[in-house]
């Protein structure tokens, strides 16, 4: 017998409906039911706004674990479970710049992890001038061996996203990877607008964490920020109020309709810890901020529900904020079955209360 959920509001397409319930059956959405057609069937009333489970394409860790070359299928599953409890029912585990051996090992582990959406390799082919918290000693140009490894990995993974910088990857390499189905993002890059445009024309379709670790926009040189806002490029946004000022976020949203939310989450997500270690360096958790001991930002202490709430507080329409965490990133990875509430799709939901705080999560029809 199917379960019928009746929330105060439900995100359906580009509107918050107050007139629908959703029936679940076998881990999937059986139907959307207008209130007037429910009749005497039992329902579970929900206080708040029901939206699709969040889709987070930049997750460096969670549940006390960091993504690394030592991650096992069990570790990756534990990180996924930690983020599911926080509302992100689909994630892309993200490996920041590391050694070739670590990259190879993580790809092998990912290919053996049941239910994993894929991987995001944020480096090592970046620009050391925009390293951020990445170890500059590990940044290196993409080799032919790297290229073939990534093409092989994409054959085994549903989604493979790679962040590169023009300083360490060629236009031809980007073109070949794109033709093989790899999603190419530009990030940690100190490039000019015209260079970014050339890489976009070769297939790069994403900008990694807009505004952060990239050439900024000026009056005579728009840089990568300007390219991300001017060209038809998707751009991830860390909406914690630390990585990006609310005013900058508002201006970006007024310019582009392809901005989606990411958390850039680290090991502390879903874990009560005040520090962790990243490649031998201590990362401190203080005042909702993660930093190296020298103060350099090192990922974010942020959940997707908090990012949605922040955007709404900064003046973004709730429907748009929710879609930036659900439908838009799902669209980017070509997953029409995610990020939406519609008949036949997986029953993945997040329930947000009147203050837009997370109150419940369902994955494959099961309440977590």
State the DSSP H helix or E strand holding residue 247, giving kind and residue range, or none if neither.
helix 246-255
Per-residue H/E/C for 212-231: CCECCCCCCCCHHHHHHHHC
**Which CATH number belongs to the domain containing residue 163 in this structure?**
3.20.20.140
CB 151 within 8 A of CB 172: no
Residues 21 and 90 reside in one and the same domain: no
Residue 71 DSSP SS3: coil
Q: Residue 99's closest CA among 81, 120, 123?
A: 123
**How much is the pLDDT for 39?**
85
State the DSSP H helix or E strand holding residue 326, giving kind and residue range, or none if neither.
none
Buried b (16+ CB within 10 A) or exposed e, 308-336: bbbbbebebebbbbbbbbbbbbbbbbebe
How far, in Å, CA of 218 to CA of 239, rounded?
Answer: 22
Active-site residues, by number, are 264
CB 27 within 8 A of CB 233: no
Instruction: Give the structural domain span for 28.
Output: 3-51+341-367
Residues 58 and 40 reside in one and the same domain: no
- Spacing of C-alpha 120 from chain mean position: 9
Contacts of 254 (CB under 8 A, 6+ apart): none
CB 193 within 8 A of CB 171: no
Residues 264 and 236 reside in one and the same domain: yes
Q: Residue 208's closest CA among 182, 239, 236, 184?
A: 236
* Rama region for 356: left / alpha / beta (φ>0; ψ in -120 to 50; rest): left
Residues 239 and 276 reside in one and the same domain: yes
Residues 18 and 167 reside in one and the same domain: no
**How much is the pLDDT for 1?**
53
How far, in Å, CA of 187 to CA of 162, rounded?
Answer: 10
How far, in Å, CA of 229 to CA of 231, rounded?
Answer: 6
Mean pLDDT for each consecutive 10-residue tract of the chain (368 residues)?
A: 90 95 94 91 95 98 95 97 97 97 97 96 98 95 97 97 98 98 98 98 98 97 98 98 97 98 94 87 90 90 97 98 98 96 97 97 96
How far, in Å, CA of 307 to CA of 248, rounded?
Answer: 15
Residues 31 and 77 reside in one and the same domain: no
Residues 106 and 9 reside in one and the same domain: no
Residues 32 and 129 reside in one and the same domain: no
Residues 90 and 173 reside in one and the same domain: yes
Residues 150 and 197 reside in one and the same domain: yes
How far, in Å, CA of 141 to CA of 175, rounded?
Answer: 16
DSSP 74-110: HHHHHHHHHHHHTTEEEEEEEEES--HHHHHHHHHHH
**Which CATH number belongs to the domain containing residue 350 in this structure?**
2.30.40.10
Pairing status of strand 88-96 against strand 54-59: parallel
State the DSSP H helix or E strand holding residue 18, giving kind and residue range, or none if neither.
none
Residues 324 and 242 reside in one and the same domain: yes
How far, in Å, CA of 139 to CA of 267, rounded?
Answer: 22
**pTM summary value:** 0.96
Residues 97 and 207 reside in one and the same domain: yes
CB 111 within 8 A of CB 157: yes
Q: How many domains does the chain have?
A: 2
């Amino acid at each position: 017998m199917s379960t019928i959920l009746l929330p105060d509001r439900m995100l359906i397409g580009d509107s918050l409906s107050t007139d629908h319930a959703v029936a679940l059956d076998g881990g999937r959405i059986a139907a959307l039911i207008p209130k007037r057609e429910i009749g005497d069937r039992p329902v579970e009333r929900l206080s708040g706004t029901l939206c699709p489970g969040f889709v987070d394409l930049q997750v460096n860790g969670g549940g006390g674990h960091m993504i690394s070359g030592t991650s096992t299928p069990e570790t990756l599953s534990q990180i996924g479970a930690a983020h599911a409890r926080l509302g992100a029912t689909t994630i892309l585990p993200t490996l920041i710049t590391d050694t070739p051996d670590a990259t190879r090992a993580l790809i092998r582990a990912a290919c053996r992890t049941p239910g994993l959406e894929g991987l995001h390799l944020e480096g090592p082919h970046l620009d050391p001038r925009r390293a951020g918290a990445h170890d500059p000693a590990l940044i290196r140009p993409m080799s032919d061996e790297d290229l073939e490894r990534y093409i092989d990995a994409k054959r085994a993974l549903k989604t493979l996203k790679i962040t590169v910088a023009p300083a360490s990857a060629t236009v031809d390499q980007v073109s070949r990877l794109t033709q093989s189905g790899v999603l190419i993002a530009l990030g940690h890059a100190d490039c000019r607008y015209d260079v970014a445009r050339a890489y976009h024309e070769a297939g790069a379709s994403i900008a990694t964490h807009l505004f952060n670790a990239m050439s900024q926009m000026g009056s005579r040189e728009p840089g990568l920020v300007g390219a991300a806002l001017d060209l038809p490029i998707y751009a991830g946004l860390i909406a914690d109020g630390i990585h990006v000022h609310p005013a900058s976020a508002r201006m970006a949203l007024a310019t582009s309709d392809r901005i989606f939310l990411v958390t850039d989450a680290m090991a502390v997500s879903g874990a009560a810890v005040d520090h962790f270690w990243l490649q031998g360096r201590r990362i401190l958790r203080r005042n909702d901020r993660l930093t190296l001991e020298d103060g350099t930002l090192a990922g974010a202490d942020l959940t997707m529900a908090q990012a949605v709430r922040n955007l709404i507080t900064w003046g973004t329409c709730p429907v748009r904020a929710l879609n930036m965490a659900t439908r838009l990133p799902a669209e980017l990875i070509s997953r029409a079955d995610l990020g939406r509430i519609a008949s036949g799709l997986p029953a993945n939901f997040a329930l947000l209360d009147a203050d837009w705080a997370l109150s419940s999560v369902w994955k494959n029809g099961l309440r977590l």
